[in-house]
Amino acid sequence: MSTLDTIREQFPITRQCFVNESGNRQTITYLDHGASTHPPAPVLDSYREFLERYYANIHRGNHYLSQKASELYDCVSEVVLNYIGGGSGADNSVIFTSNTTTALDIASYLMQDVAGATLVSSMEHHSNDLPHRRRGAVKRIEVLRDGTLDYEDLERKLVAGGIKLVAITGASNVTGYMPDIRLIARLAHANGARILVDGAQLLAHHAVDLLPNDDDSHIDFFAAAGHKAYAPFGTAFLVAPNQVLERTEPYIPGGGTVKFVTDTDVVWAEGVERHTGGTPNIPGVIALGSALNWLSEIGLDWVRRHEVELLTSVESRLRGIEGVTFLGDIPAEKKLGVLPFNITGIHHEQVAAILNERYGIATRNGCFCAHPYLTRLLHCTDAEAVRRKVEAGEDVLLPGAVRATIGIYNNAEDLDKLVAAVADLAAEALKGTMFPASDKPSACIEAM
């Protein structure tokens, strides 16, 4: 058996069947790994083992179950730090959260009292943009026509001064583009700012190395989630420098965040405890540790080679189909296996629905929680007009695209199915027979 077949075999979900619109049973060709990935058997086993054998709340429990649960939970911080090169724990800590959005919000919160603005890119997921808007001034780095970052704009804005934090994605969830986070870290540090990397998309697809804290290219804050890295839903993390954890009061004050409380006063706990209010998702954290160990055993180099090979072949074939337009124009070495496209004459929602119903192919469509990036990629010249219509409650078709995303267990056959299905749909759309124009006004101006 090849490595890929062995890996695929470990995903029970690949054997799950659905009944399609013609009443036939079919398996799903899953190309929505950018939204969430499935847990493989070893990760499910560790999750279930905890539930069956060690289920107990952690810390402060003096019985065997609690001690075992604490031991299993506590060692995951080290697994995370090892996985992303975050050091030994002397410099950085891991705060476990429920999702990436919360992890990014905590980073923003930890920096809120520092003077200066946050510099976000125009390709960010809303989760790495909106939290910063709540916490002071935000400036934006522009993106170029091909969907990559405008580094000159970034440098100009940093050199102009007054930036405390650069909040940048490790990989875009829309185009898969991976900004040069080393270069950005160097520029940020040289200009007195810290860097926060949204690693949600990166974590399971590309090796990450935060580098030692005294290296001028190191990453200060790193956020990511298990549900995009082959762990179950409900667990994510923020890696942050120990230095900043005591700068603020707890993110959510409550049980576990204190040393002592009187009727009128509190002595807050230190470090990670201070920002871990309430019971965490203990089995989720343990399963996240298993998922990262599982990925490390396979090797991120293997994962990357495999996914780039699939990406290179499928992207060139999709681009060659008449009527298919792609968002962004980014070489494979600078992107993850993310394929955002439209078919001329069919709304993205209809494309995704037909891919699902007729072909059993799971993709995602819409704006991918990155409206500013989408409007730029689609050259939607008047985003403000769209906003006004949406605010007024008008029924507007938002600009968007279909997105197929490659994961570790996808094989060439999965991508062949996608190419064949898209070719079919594009050909039907060209004939103009089966896709009646929507009566809703479209906000989409022109696809790239």
Ligand X SMILES: Cc1ncc(COP(=O)(O)O)c(C=O)c1O
Q: What is the x/- site pattern for ligand X, positions 159-178, by CB under 6 A?
A: ----------x---x-----
d(CA 192, CA 42): 44
State in angstroms the smallest separation of the CB of 264 from ligand X: 36
CB of 236: closest distance to ligand X in angstroms? 5
Stretch that binds ligand X, among 120-128, 132-140, 250-258, 268-276 (CB under 6 A): 120-128
Q: Which residue has the tokens 């875009």?
A: 172
Q: Is 101 in the site for ligand X (CB under 6 A)?
A: yes
Establish if 200 lies at the interface with ligand X (CB under 6 A): yes
CA 69 – CA 56 distance, rounded (Å): 6
- Piece of 39-47, 125-133, 210-218, 241-249 that binds ligand X (CB under 6 A): 125-133
| Beta carbon of residue 128, minimum distance to ligand X (angstroms, whole number) | 6
Only one of the segments 105-113, 121-129, 307-315, 431-439 lies at the binding site for ligand X (rule: CB under 6 A); that segment is 121-129
The nearer residue to ligand X, 70 or 172, going by C-beta atoms, is 172
Residue 369 is a catalytic residue:
yes
Q: In the complex with ligand X, which residue's Cβ is closer, 240 or 343?
A: 240
Cβ pair 161, 115 in contact under 8 A: no
Nearer to ligand X, 87 or 226 (CB): 226
Give the alpha-carbon dihedral of 153, 157, 159, 163, to 10 degrees. Answer: -140
DSSP conformation letters of 172-218: -TTT-B---HHHHHHHHHHTT-EEEEE-TTTTTTS------TTSTT-
Helix (H, G, I), strand (E, B) or coil at 111: coil
Task: Give the strand order in the sheet containing 163-169.
Answer: 92-97, 236-241, 221-225, 194-198, 163-169, 117-121, 138-141
Give φ, ψ of 115 to 5 degrees.
-70, 145
Containing 119, the helix (H) or strand (E) segment is strand 117-121
- Window 231-260: residues binding ligand X (CB under 6 A): 236
**Site size for ligand X, by CB under 6 A?**
13
- Counting contacts by CB under 6 A, is residue 291 touching ligand X? no
DSSP-assigned letter for residue 439: S
Which residue in 14, 99, 217, 363 binds ligand X (CB under 6 A)?
Answer: 99
Kindly tell me which residue out of 125, 164, 194, 274 binds ligand X, with binding defined by CB under 6 A.
125
Cross-strand partners of 169: 198
Our CB check for ligand X shows the closer of 208 and 419 to be: 208
Q: Of 399, 397, 403, 390, which Cα lies nearest the Cα of 440?
A: 397
Cβ atoms 148, 448 nearer than 8 A = no
| Residue 375 structure tokens | 């409007």
- Find the part of the chain contacting ligand X (CB under 6 A) among 20-28, 42-50, 98-106, 407-415: 98-106
Q: How far is the CB of 233 from ligand X (least distance, A)?
A: 9
32: contact with ligand X by CB under 6 A: no
Q: Which of 17, 75, 369, 380 is catalytic?
A: 369
Q: Which is nearer to ligand X, 92 or 100 (CB)?
A: 100
- Which residue of 70, 127, 290, 342 would you call a contact of ligand X, by CB under 6 A? 127
| Cβ proximity to ligand X, 70 vs 276, nearer residue | 276
Closest CA to 109 of 122, 118, 121, 119: 118
Report the interface residues with ligand X, using CB under 6 A. 99-101, 125, 127-128, 169, 173, 198, 200-201, 225, 236
Residues involved in catalysis: 369
